[in-house]
Amino acid sequence: MTPERENELLEKLAQAVVNFDEEGVKVIAQEALAEGLDPNKAVFEGLVKGMQEVGRLYEEQEYFVPELLMCADALYAGLDIFKPLMKADRTSVRGQVVMGVVQGDVHDIGKNLVKVMFEAAGFQVYDLGRDVPLEKFVEEQLRTDSEIVALSAMMTTTMVGMKDVIKAIKEKNPRAKIMIGGAPVTEDIAAKFGADGYAKDASNALKDAINMISSLRDLQKD
């Protein structure tokens, strides 16, 4: 396959997600597989790229919840086709992650995008949703023994609650790794709050999570 054709198929996948064209995604996905497009690339540079654009449209209030849900349906239609064929080397870093938007905050587009990428990469995701009380994160981490807890906040007023969540989880399970993200969050704030990782976007969150899981597994071997 030529680079031009590859780019064309990736762009078509992204656009079909943006246009909430579920049937179109299925047709293009089958076409892409028949022509030898790498499933990992199809997901992350096609489907997820489309969902990132959907996120932008949602934040700018060009799209609203109904469009968002239809776009997600299109995205998952593609994931259903590609996920079984994604490269096995990703399975070595698979782990469990608890995620949610902190109490008082209902902005979950970023969290939903991160969830999609984690699921596509083979993680078991326990999604607590939005406006999640502090103790719920602690309970779910202990219940599932998840290696990672991912916290999201889109407002400065709710972001401050992350510090208490991190402290409570670390007291109960010091081995749990905690990642935070959202519009007001910075690397400095993550360090100040005692988080193990800071995700400025969904791709960064996934890379950080994979590194965290790998380092935890190495520690267990030692």
Claim to verify: residue 105 and residue 205 sit in the same structural domain: yes
59 shares a domain with 108: no
On whether both 156 and 185 belong to a single domain, the answer is yes
**140 with 37, same domain?**
no
Q: Which CATH number belongs to the domain containing residue 24 in this structure?
A: 1.10.1240.10
Torsion of CA 190, 164, 173, 106, to 10 degrees: -80
pTM: 0.70
Q: Give the β-pairing of 96-101 and 124-127.
A: parallel
Q: Are residues 109 and 58 in the same domain?
A: no
* 107 and 51 inside one domain: no
Distance between CA atoms of residues 198 and 167, nearest Å: 16
Q: Which stretches within the chain are classed as H helix?
A: 3-18, 22-34, 39-41, 48-59, 65-82, 109-120, 134-144, 156-159, 161-172, 187-193, 202-221
Q: So what's the pLDDT on residue 186?
A: 92
Same domain, 67 and 55: yes
At 195 the pLDDT is: 96
Q: Per-residue pLDDT tens for 42-79?
A: 988 999 889 888 878 877 889 887 888 898 889 889 98
One domain, residues 55 and 146: no
Instruction: Read off the CATH number of the domain in which 125 is found.
Output: 3.40.50.280
| Domain extent for 25 | 3-86
- Residues 205 and 111 both lie in one domain: yes
> Cα–Cα distances in Å, from 19 out to 24, 69, 145, 148, 168?
9, 12, 38, 33, 42
Question: Which positions of the chain have pLDDT values less than 50?
Answer: 89-91
Q: Are residues 169 and 99 in the same domain?
A: yes
pLDDT tens across 125-152, in order? 999 999 999 999 999 999 999 999 999 9
| Domain boundary pick from 86, 118, 143 | 86
Does residue 69 sit in the same domain as residue 116? no
